[in-house]
């Protein structure tokens, strides 16, 4: 969990899907078994504020199974990072809107894991 912020910053992904599953037992100093030895309500609890502010996030957690799932996608993006051999400023307003709309739809489809109509 400590490496999440570093990984998210390093990969600069548009979409991030994370799973955290608690596995195995641990024992306290008295030898009592514990399945989970730390508090967690959401993977989001471990993310830095600057990352949280850049991404839209949802959790799909199954607490009784100790399974935590967080999906994230960028709230805003720079069109220039998606264009090859062209700059957004060189496109017409209409073309920029069309391309941005297509990109946002593609990101939403990947985020939700289904085709949107």
**pLDDT tens digit string along 73-88?**
999 989 999 999 999 9
63 compared with 73, residue with greater pLDDT: 73
pLDDT of the residue at 49? 96
- The model carries a pTM of 0.76
- The C-alpha atoms of residue 42 and residue 67 are separated, in whole angstroms, by 10
- The pLDDT confidence band at residue 37, using thresholds 50, 70 and 90, is low
Res. 94 pLDDT band, cuts 50 70 90: very high
Residues forming beta bridges with residue 2, ordered by sequence position: none
| CB neighbour class for 70 (10 Å; exposed up to 12, middle 13-18, buried from 19) | buried
Which residue reads 């959790």 in tokens? 59
- Measure CA of the first residue to CA of the last residue in the chain; give whole Å: 36
Q: Give the three-state DSSP class for 14.
A: coil
For residue 27, the cross-strand partners are 33
The predicted model gives 7-11 an average pLDDT of 94
Each as own residue / partner, the long-range contacts of residues 107-112 (CB below 8 Å, 24 or more positions apart, any chain) are: 107/14, 107/15, 107/73, 107/74, 107/77, 108/73, 110/15, 110/73, 111/15, 111/71, 111/73
Average predicted confidence (pLDDT) for the chain? 90
């Amino acid at each position: 969990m400590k490496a999440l912020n570093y990984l998210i910053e390093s990969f600069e992904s548009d979409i991030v899907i994370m799973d955290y599953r608690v596995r195995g037992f641990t024992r306290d100093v008295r030898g009592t078994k514990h399945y989970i030895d730390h508090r967690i309500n959401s993977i989001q609890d471990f993310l830095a504020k600057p990352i949280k502010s850049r991404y839209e996030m949802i959790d799909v957690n199954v607490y009784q199974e100790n399974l935590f799932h967080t999906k994230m996608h960028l709230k805003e993006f720079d069109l220039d990072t998606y264009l090859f051999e062209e700059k957004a400023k060189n496109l017409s307003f209409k073309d920029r809107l069309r391309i941005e709309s297509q990109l946002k739809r593609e990101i939403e489809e990947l985020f939700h894991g289904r085709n949107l109509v």
